[in-house]
Structure 1
């Protein structure tokens, strides 16, 4: 198995700071990651398998300059943190952003990072609402990140992460502190990427934070830019949408294994349109 290349990862996210396992390093890495590597689910829509082995994640997100979803992002971030000497480990969460009527399965990956006498939650892979900085594992405290305010609520053995949207608090996901292993993510990843009713199988999704506090978001053909130069538009031209993913989100589309040809992308979107 190919060893993890920390230097290539740091170059991918444009990080040139210190790599000692400190809170400052964690904060800077977290912010650089979400501003550089986009969230996206194109492989799921193309019926390609989502591989979680170190070599596959590194080749796709770092070398090929693609993005991915939670298991890929947070697995990559975990590899980097552990190689730097952080005592980080993976957790699993139940996504409640859509306020489901019953308890959903654990389908999201996040990280727990102990530092000194505190524990920190890191999550670079939750798409649009994801954290852009780690937050301390403490109840009821409003915690500010470069891209919004968050709060953790204690639910006994579980925690609830909420994000402030306007004047309201939006629940994102519930999690406990039980360590997850690669086999846990292997099973959950298979379910999320292949279950016929999975949200990822029916909608093109992409998101990336901007260093100035703004954000880019894409849902199917609807593109949104939040921040100083806000805009919203729908792209009826699929070739223009294909180009936008490269120019705005920075996706690499030319890799021999993880690239996406223009005609392949257009056919994929046509299938989505037909399904709708």
Structure 2
């Protein structure tokens, strides 16, 4: 009960940390240090797939923590960047890390086009470390981070089986522009660019709705499914399935139709496909 001049305090939904850790298979001492951050990040990447089934069906997925738990933790599903990184942020905060939400401009495949800042990533403050770390479990691409890396420019990091570095690039604006690069096909390839301007949950509510429902968004009309394991990266774009092994070898094939897509999503990607789910984009 509150007096007329008091404002009721908002309550933050509680995360079922035990259920999340069981879903990702992470075990260890629950403490906020760099080794824990890296291992939590890697377990999440291996444990929960990337998928966009709701946008293909014409709706935006909920970013409310109870809904993310029901879907990604208990429901055998995956999600895309806003879902993954919102969930990871809650986990890291429960461990005692400081987390700032950021937004990035994806440059991978842009071919010079300027895209809006629509990708969510995390800046993580680690007790006892000289600077923050970059964490991102929601970038659906073969060049995604497998482990969190220090926010340090011009230094190569080996995160599990991948190689990354952060560089600065000139741009207009008062904040430094950071670019994440991945070493792929014998070259450093830009993945996305970002500044350290904090973004808040309402910002991502708007961006999430735009990306999920805008008919010009690729996520609203083409399946993007990803799964990373210690040995391989699986990617399904539309009906095109690509398996890239850790040694760089690659196998590709076209899936024949709806039934095979459902079978592959279930058996190969570990996604519990809901009954009646739409796997083709809605008509314009």
Shared fold, TM over 0.5: yes
| Alpha-carbon separation, structure 2, partners of 1:26 and 1:54 | 20
The Cα offsets for residues 92-151 of structure 1, whole Å up to 9 and x where unpaired, read as 111111235453221010011122212110000001222101111111111111232111
Q: Secondary structure at the match of 1:83?
A: helix
Which of 84, 92, 96 pairs up with 2:95? 84
SS at match of 2:35: helix
CA distance in 2, matches of 1:208, 1:145: 17
Residue aligning to 1:51 = 62
Query: Does the alignment pair 1:25 with 2:36?
Result: yes
Q: Give the corresponding residue for 2:266.
A: 246
Deviation at 1:60, TM superposition (A): 1.0
* Residue matched to 1:140: 154
Task: Tell me how far apart the structure 1 counterparts of residues 20 and 241 of structure 2 sit (CA, whole Å).
Answer: 28
Q: Secondary structure in 2 aligned to 1:11? A: helix
Aligned to 2:256, which of 236, 257, 261?
Answer: 236
Structure number with greater Rg is 2
The answer to whether the 8 A contact 2:59-2:212 is kept is: no
Give me the whole-angstrom Cα distance separating, in 1, the residues matched to 2:224 and 2:134. 24
Secondary structure at the aligned position of 2:271 is classed as coil
Residue 7 of structure 1, CA deviation? 0.8
Superposition TM-score, scaled by structure 2 size: 0.87
Deviation at residue 49 of structure 1 after TM alignment: 2.6
Write the mapping of 1:192-211 to structure 2, written as runs, cut at 5 A. 192-211=211-230
1:190 aligns with 2:203: no
- Tell me whether 154-163 or 121-130 shows the greater mean CA deviation: 154-163
Cα distance in 1 for partners of 2:111, 2:198 equals 25
Are 1:159 and 2:172 an aligned pair? no
Question: Cα RMSD over matched residues?
Answer: 1.8
1:202 CA drift (Å): 1.9
* Residue of structure 2 aligned with 1:4, choices 4, 11, 15: 15
| Aligned-pair CA distance for 1:2 | 4.3
Q: What is the TM-score of this pair, normalised by structure 1?
A: 0.89
Which has a greater percent of helix?
A: 1
Name whichever of 184-193 and 66-75 sits farther off: 184-193
Secondary structure at the aligned position of 2:183 is classed as strand
- Offset at residue 238 of structure 1 (A): 2.1
Alpha-carbon distance in 2 for matches of 1:155, 1:264: 42
Partner of residue 226 from structure 1, selected from 225, 244, 247: 244
Structure 2, unmatched stretches of 5+, are: 1-11, 171-175
Describe the SS at the equivalent of 2:76: coil
Structure 1 residue 230, shift from structure 2 partner: 4.8
> For residues 127 and 47 of structure 1, what CA distance do their matches in structure 2 show?
20
What's the secondary structure of 2:98's corresponding residue? coil
Structure 1: gaps of 5 or more residues: 254-259
Range with greater deviation from structure 2 (228-237 or 163-172): 228-237
**Matched position secondary structure for 1:47:** coil
